[in-house]
Structures are given as C-alpha cells and as structure tokens.
Structure 1
Amino acid sequence: MSATTAASGRFAMMIDGAPVEGGEAPFDVINPFDGSVVAKAPTCSKADLDKAVSAARTAFKSWSALSFEDRKGYLKKMAEVTEKNKDALAELLVLEQGKGRIQADYEIMAAQGWFQNAIDAEHPNKLFEDTKEQKVQKLYRPLGVVGCITAWNFPIALMAFKISFGLLSGCTIILKPSENTPLCTLELARLYNEVLPPGVLSVVTSEKKELGEWLVKHPGIDKISFTGSTATGKRIMQTAAESLKRVTLELGGNDPAIVLPDADPAKVAPGIFQAAFFNSGQVCIAAKRIFVPESIFDATVEAFANEAKNAPFGNGLDKGVVFGPLNNGMQYDRVRELLMDALDNGAEMVVGEVPPPREDAKGYMIKPVVLKNVKEGMRIVDEEQFGPVMPVMSYKTVDEAIERANNTEYGLGASVWTSDLDKGDEVAAQINAGTVWVNTHGEIDGTVAFGGAKCSGVGHEGGTEGLLAFLQLHVVKTKRVAAL
C-alpha cells in the first residue's frame, strides 16, 4: 500500500492514469467486524466519469492496436504487481470485507489464477474456409470501452475476472466497485496504472446509486459487465436495451446440493458445509438448499451440526479464523429477517443462535446456523439469503429432489454428492443450472466459462466464451474469382 493511503486513510480514484480525489465529500468504508471506519473513499462526480470515459476512448485507439501478445505482456506485469503486494492487499481486504485472512489469501490466489488463464488464452481469430473458390475469415474486434461493476463479496477476484479478459481483448475499462468494498480496488488501480498506459483502466467510486446509473446510460460506454443481484441486473438490462448496449450479467443464485442415498454423511458433510458457508455464505454459488434422502437425513444433519460447532468464526485478522462477519448492515438485517421468518413458520434450529437486532450488535457477525423442518414456501428456501444459514430438507425419491431443485427462478450452480459417479453424472444432467458439480461445489477458474441459466445471468466469464464476450465478430469473405 502506498505511504499516502496508509498514512492518511484516504484513497483516490484513478482516471486517465492519475489519482483523482473527486469533487464531492468522501464516504466512510466500514469494518464489518466492529463497525469502525477503515478509511475514506472518494465520491465520483458526473464530470469525473465523463473524464474517465473520454480517456478510455482515447486510449482505446492505441490499446486495441497492440498485438494480442503485447497485451499479454501487460497482464503479466499486473500479475507481478499483485503478487508483490499480496500481503498488504489481503490485510486491507479483511478490514473492508470481513472475511478471514485465510480466505483473503485464497481470493488473491484466485485472482492471480484468472490473470494466468487470460495469459494462456489463444486468440479466437479463425480461418473458417480456405478453398479455391473463396476464403472466409472469422475475425474478432474489441467492443470498445467497457463499464464493469463488481460486488462486495469478492472485490479483488471479481476485478481480476473482468479486467483480465477485458484488457486482453483490446477493450479499455472503467470499473466501479461496490461502495462497501472499494479500497482494495482503488489500491489495485493505483498499482496497475504504474504499468499500464494512461486511460486503459480507470476506477471510479461513490456510495450514491447514481454512479452506476450514469455508467450504464453513458453513450461513450459500449458494454456493461455486472456482477450483483438479479434485481439490479434486470434494471441494467432494461437500461442497456435502449441503445442495444452489450451486457454480461453474473447474477444471483439459490444453488441446490443434492445428497444421493448412497452417500456417506461423514464424508460429504465437510465439503457441503464449506460450499454453504464459504465467505460466511456470501457467495452467489454457495450451496443454499440442501436436499438429503430420508434414509440418511438425521445422520447428515448431525454431521452438518458438528461442522458448524467447530467452524472458526470471528475477527478475520485473528490467527486461525476462516469465517468472518457479514459485510454490511443491510445484509445482516436481511439474513436475520429470513432466519426469524423460518423459525416463526416452524423451522427448527439444530445449531446456532438468533442474532440481535443490528442496533444491539457490535459489527455484523452471525455465527453458522443449521436448520431442519424447513420447506418450500419459507423465504429462507425460496429466496437467495446470502448468509451463514443452511436449510436442510428431506426427500423420498431422487426424481423428487431433482424436481424441487429445479423449482426456482435461479439457475447459477448446483451439486450432486454420491459414491456412484455414473449416477452423479446422470442426476447432474437433469439440473437446470449453468454449472453442476459432482462431489464438489463452487469451483471455478478462467479456463472454463462460467455463467447462469434463467434469472441467474446473461453471458459468460472465463474461457473462450468469456473472451468472446468482449469482442465483436467480424466476418471477411473473399471470392477467388476474376474481378467482374
């Protein structure tokens, strides 16, 4: 971290390669563990955004003209800068996001992996046909200026997910992080602009919703790549439709995890617990609905309860802590509300406790909760909770479990847990989700495209499909005949 940000507690936006403190009053970034102020972040004005867009459009001309390999060279420098500063970044991530230091280190490692996946990617240009009659080329051009909006659960990883393949494509980028977790993004923007040409990557911040709206509506931005809630994604899609602006939307999920009758509860419980509670459940692809056959229901619930009792929750800066608090007060209130609703409607809390109202709490900590006697129709099952609560439901037949798993507007991820791999593949093929895992859950990397079905998203990130999302297909057909 730079001496200026560390000493003053103030961070600057990066616009056209230079720090900008913004023309309006900065806003506080809160430590979710104890409610203290970590630092102040700058507020972007409309004029600041216009300057960032103008700089990005100017930089696009020379950036897009670079070779694919030259742009990979810049990505390598960005990865090196991230590696060099990983310890300071991890500590800052814990302070503003709340996750345990172990998971903060993992997030930075995931970001590094995504850069490497982009560096290893091949250019998609293809000679489609080459005969004596004609030559047909499928060429790809970068779309232009991309506005990226990231969520507060994985600010470093989500930034890497978007800018690695986005910059590789030849696009220039303006990124807006969540107002809850802007600090790591601002620091990375400062570091990356030490190795990038001016205007290629700008980062703007504000706690006001208007900034996101300005970004989506701005006529100088050619595409929006958004990670966040389904409700916000729908509004972005409506706004972008006015100009047919391209969009990639990675949205919410209500992922089912189906335990098959042949599974051993003691063996599957640790993996499913991690899938449900990683990042304190604040993951779009967390396992949020657990289906267990009646024959092994009690043993499986007991195994989950044992995992919850031993889970190291607490201050993310403390040694050995894996799971931290929820990131912000709004999310704390929502998870508490859904938990109270479940208990009021007959759910039984196997392990855990009801958190106090926010005004009586110090920070946003909710310790792990395992629920049984839950069913469809309860909000904790039907809605995306995004918190450390595991609703476990029994089923009679596998067909019933599949039908109930698919009975949702979401379709981001799902998992099947079994000792019979053929049966696992058979069940996985019947689940309507963008990614279905067998005997694991939530593993993604930049070599394979990731995206959702139904209301969980539009488009993909990572893999060839993720690169193509930043490119426009340009077909050139040449007839090999004498000119008329």
Structure 2
Amino acid sequence: MRTDMLIGGEWTTGGGPAFTSLNPATGEVLAELREATETDVDAAVRAAQRAFVSPEWGGLLPAARAGLLLRVADLLEEHAQDVAALETRDQGQPLGVSAGFSVPNAVEHLRYYAGWVTKITGITAPLSVPDVDYRTRREPLGVCGLITPWNFPLMILVWKLAPALACGNTVVVKPAEQTSLSTLRLAELIEEAGVPAGVVNVVTGGPETGRALVRHPLVKKISFTGSTAVGREIGAECGRSLKKVSLELGGKAPSIIAADADIDASLQGNLLGGLLNSGQVCAAYTRFYVDARRHDEFAEKLAGAAGTLRLGDGLDPETHLGPLVSAEQVEQAARYVAIGEEEGAELLTGGSRPDGALAAGFFFEPTVFAGVRQDMRIAREEIFGPVLTVLPYEDPEELAVLANDTDYGLAAAIWSRDIGTANRLARQVKAGTVWINMMQGLDAAAAWGGMKSSGLGREMGWEAIEAYTEVKSVWTSLV
C-alpha cells in the first residue's frame, strides 16, 4: 500500500516525523506514514499553482477534462474490491458499507461531475445602460485545500475533489491522519488516469499540517469536514485571509416518531440510521423523540434490535458493526455512557467494550438509553459512537421546538403516516436535510450541508459547482 505523499507528480516521504495508522479491528499497526512539514505543504501548494496555470490543465478543453474524470471513475470501479478492503482495514467500516456504499458513491460523484464539466455556464442579462452587451463567466478559483475526516475517508474526499476538478481547480488534499490510505490509493489511480502532475497533491499529517494548508497565501479555498470546534478555527482563519470556505461539521440529528407512526415499520430505519458505521456519522439519528405513551415500547424494541447486532472485523461478512476508529473514540463513548447514567438515564443495552476475541480492537457495544431528558448531555452533545437516546414527549406541538433545541442543524428524520404532519414538521425543523419515513439517503445531485453550528455552504449538486467557482462580469461596448 502507498504511504508516501504526492507532491507535484512525485511521491516523497516528506520531512516530518513518522506516525502510524492502526487497524481498528485489531489495534495493530497497519502502516507508517510521515507528517508533512510546512515546507512540504508549501511545495504541494506551489505545485498545484503551477499546474493551475499550465496548458496541460488550465488550457485543457472541457470535454478532455470530463474524460479524465470519467477515466478516474472507471479505474476506481475497476479496483473497487481492493479499495473497499483497504478502507475497511484502515477505518473499520464493514465491507457492506465500504464496498456497498462508500466506493460506489465515490464513483457516482466522479461521473456526475464529469457531466457538469461541459455545462458550467454564465448568463447574459439586459442592463439599463445603452449600447452595452453584458455576460458573466464562471471561472475556477485556483488552488483548493481539501481537508477530509476519518469516518468516510474516500467518499467524502470525492465529494470535494470531483466538483473541484470539474470546475478546473487544482487541489492539495490533507486526509485525516487516522485514515490516509484510501486517499493515497485514489491518488495513484488519478495518476494512472493521466491527470497532469500537480493537479492533485496529497500531504499527510495531523493538525499542524492542516493549519499550514489553511494559512498558505496561495490557497484560494478550504473545504473541511470534521468537528465544529476545528471548523470554527478554520472559518476564522479563512475570514482573516478572505479565503472562500465550506464547512461540513458536527450533528445531533433528531428522529421524530410521530404518534401515528408505525413503530415496527420505522424501527429498522431508525436502527440503521443511528448505528451506520458504528454511529460514526455526522447525520446519525441519535435523538429519538417518541410519544410518551409509546416511549417504552419503542425504546425496548430499539434496544432489543441493537442487542442482536454482531460486532466484528469489518472484513468478516457476518459483521454488522465494526470497531470505532481509535481508542480515543472508545474512551469518548464510554465517558458519555457514564455521564448518561450519572444524569439518570436508563441504560437498556450495551454501554461497554466487549471482551474475549474483540478486546484488542476498538469495539464498543451498541448502546440505548431510555427516559432521556432534553437537558442531559447525552441528548445535547455529539458522541460520534453507537450511543442512542430515546426521549418521550407529551405535546406534539412541541416537537419542532424540541428538535431545534440544539446548536446543530445538519439533518433530521420524521416518521409519520400523515404526509401533512410530516411535511409541516419538515418545514419547521432547522436542518440542512430532512428525511421523511426513511434512513439517510445521499445522491450526487442532492445538496448536502448544515445549518447553525453544523456548517457553512453546501456540497453535491449544482451547489458544489458554485462553491468551486467565482463569477466574473464582462461588459462590452457596442459603439
């Protein structure tokens, strides 16, 4: 597996100290990588800037650029099995997620944005100025810094990379230090596809590497997915330097089970919506609002279903839930379980690490709390692990207020047999995405992003084209 950095078409070890990537299913060292220094980041950014103005990329016709993206998509699809297995070993997600969702979604995004390359247009508009022709052009920004998270490393990278390249930008990618390997493998495939040197650069490392990329004066845009705390720092830095910025941050998604909902029918969607990738999903359903008269029934059925899920190595086809990504995430989940019990919530299932054969890995049992109050920390703070909370409500008129009583606004779910009720709540809930009677769904054509502390800007769809371009006005005298 590739562990070097890609800078200007050359694979290099970089000048910083070594760090390890662990297999979260076993705790064993999977690979050793190098921390990019400020000098390495500068070299990558300058390589991207040279590529941006080069005839090999900057002068490439749109149809040719689209062809390169399609070639990358074909190669990723051709190597999908190996890339998915690498993602599972490095991140922990079961093969059903990596091979069935993450890699296919990345391929879909590459093909979708390849289709946009030849359709990025400006407008003409009538002005109240005589003898003038007016039009606009959408032009690429330049060098874009893409900082990606550890929960879906490959997929979320492509959400950023595909539109950035479709618009004609060049990029420097900084993957999460816990999960860099699928990014480096994709960089190999990008080279094989014939994308010119310097168009895509990858630097590895932790927070200091990311700071160097954010602060570099030649970087015109930062796209970041990660925690709200880090997003605030990046947003402030980009504000000072007047860089464009997109931030997809944390979440604490409510799932509203209306009084008329079919609990049995909604159970599977809520279980999967809360525990996909072991709960390491920004849009995971983690706050379940259930009519007080049916709270116990729902909580017990949810806990019973969660207790049947099989923990194991993601490479095992029998595994339902893989490990958390690191020991730190296990400790965080355990800490919040202790907090929930101290606050008086009722622990129905889970709440600890498994023993025996799984003890060496970063596993945590799927956990369900019942009788949770709105003011409890487990109902308000992002845990990013397999910890679900069930909250009873008395008055349906308070549902939107309860769902919105959070700093976050990334996503929400609503379950109701009454389409009017469901859509009224969808209007009232402050979230970037609302799913009605379904678990999370994603598509390259559907805008994605958060409100409030869940971020700024949108990815996917036409909105991503807007995010990676700027508009130029062109005036022409006709006399």
Aligned to 1:392: 390
Q: CA deviation at 1:361?
A: 4.8
Contact 1:367 1:388 (8 Å CA) reproduced: yes
Aligned to 1:199: 198
Aligned to 2:148: 150
Aligned to 2:243: 245
Q: CA deviation at 1:294?
A: 1.5
The residue correspondences of 1:280-319 to structure 2 (distance < 5 A) are 280-319=278-317
Q: What letter corresponds to residue 80 of structure 1 in structure 2?
A: D
Q: Distance in 1 between matches of 2:446 and 2:81?
A: 28
Contact 1:68 1:123 (8 Å CA) reproduced: no
Q: Distance in 2 between matches of 1:479 and 1:423?
A: 56
**Which of the numbers 260, 263, 266 marks the counterpart of 2:264?**
266
The residue correspondences of 1:2-17 to structure 2 (distance < 5 A) are 5=1, 11-17=3-9
Aligned to 2:102: 107
Q: What letter corresponds to residue 121 of structure 2 in structure 1?
A: N
Contact 2:334 2:351 (8 Å CA) reproduced: no
Q: What letter corresponds to residue 256 of structure 2 in structure 1?
A: I
Q: What letter corresponds to residue 75 of structure 2 in structure 1?
A: V
Aligned to 2:83: 89
CA deviation digits over 1:395-451, x for unaligned, max 9?
012221210100111111111011112221111000011111111232122202111
Contact 2:354 2:364 (8 Å CA) reproduced: no
Contact 1:125 1:137 (8 Å CA) reproduced: no
Q: Which piece of structure 1 moves more, 220-229 or 41-50?
A: 41-50
Q: Distance in 2 between matches of 1:64 and 1:267?
A: 52
Aligned to 1:124: 120
Q: What letter corresponds to residue 374 of structure 1 in structure 2?
A: V
Aligned to 2:252: 254
Q: Distance in 2 between matches of 1:236 and 1:377?
A: 29
SS in 2 for 1:69: helix
Is 1:76 aligned to residue 70 of structure 2?
yes
Q: What letter corresponds to residue 108 of structure 1 in structure 2?
A: V
Is 1:464 aligned to residue 456 of structure 2?
no
Aligned to 1:323: 321
CA deviation digits over 1:189-226, x for unaligned, max 9?
122122210000001101x4210110000011111000
Q: CA deviation at 1:352?
A: 1.4
Q: Distance in 1 between matches of 2:246 and 2:373?
A: 33
Q: Distance in 2 between matches of 1:426 and 1:58?
A: 51
Q: What letter corresponds to residue 125 of structure 1 in structure 2?
A: T
Is 1:35 aligned to residue 27 of structure 2?
yes
Q: CA deviation at 1:125?
A: 1.7
Q: Distance in 1 between matches of 2:251 and 2:172?
A: 26
Q: Distance in 2 between matches of 1:460 and 1:238?
A: 18
Q: CA deviation at 1:383?
A: 0.4
Q: Distance in 2 between matches of 1:203 and 1:390?
A: 36
Q: Distance in 2 between matches of 1:308 and 1:392?
A: 13
Aligned to 1:340: 338
So what's the TM-score if we normalise by structure 1?
Answer: 0.94
Q: What letter corresponds to residue 58 of structure 1 in structure 2?
A: R
CA deviation digits over 1:322-380, x for unaligned, max 9?
310110122111111111100111111112133389xx952210111111021122211
Contact 1:340 1:354 (8 Å CA) reproduced: no
SS in 2 for 1:222: strand
Q: Distance in 2 between matches of 1:135 and 1:322?
A: 61
Residue ranges of structure 2 left out of the alignment (5+ in a row): none
Contact 1:19 1:190 (8 Å CA) reproduced: no
Aligned to 1:61: 53
Q: What letter corresponds to residue 76 of structure 1 in structure 2?
A: L
Contact 1:101 1:322 (8 Å CA) reproduced: no
Aligned residue pairs total: 470
SS in 1 for 2:254: strand
Q: RMSD value over aligned CA atoms?
A: 1.7
Contact 1:414 1:441 (8 Å CA) reproduced: no
Is 1:49 aligned to residue 49 of structure 2?
no
Is 1:26 aligned to residue 24 of structure 2?
no
CA deviation digits over 1:216-267, x for unaligned, max 9?
0001111100000000000001111221011000111111110111111110
Q: Distance in 2 between matches of 1:65 and 1:335?
A: 50
SS in 1 for 2:123: strand
Q: CA deviation at 1:45?
A: 1.9
Q: What letter corresponds to residue 119 of structure 2 in structure 1?
A: H
SS in 1 for 2:474: strand
Contact 2:337 2:351 (8 Å CA) reproduced: no
Aligned to 1:353: 351
Q: Which piece of structure 1 moves more, 127-136 or 373-382?
A: 127-136
Q: What letter corresponds to residue 342 of structure 1 in structure 2?
A: G
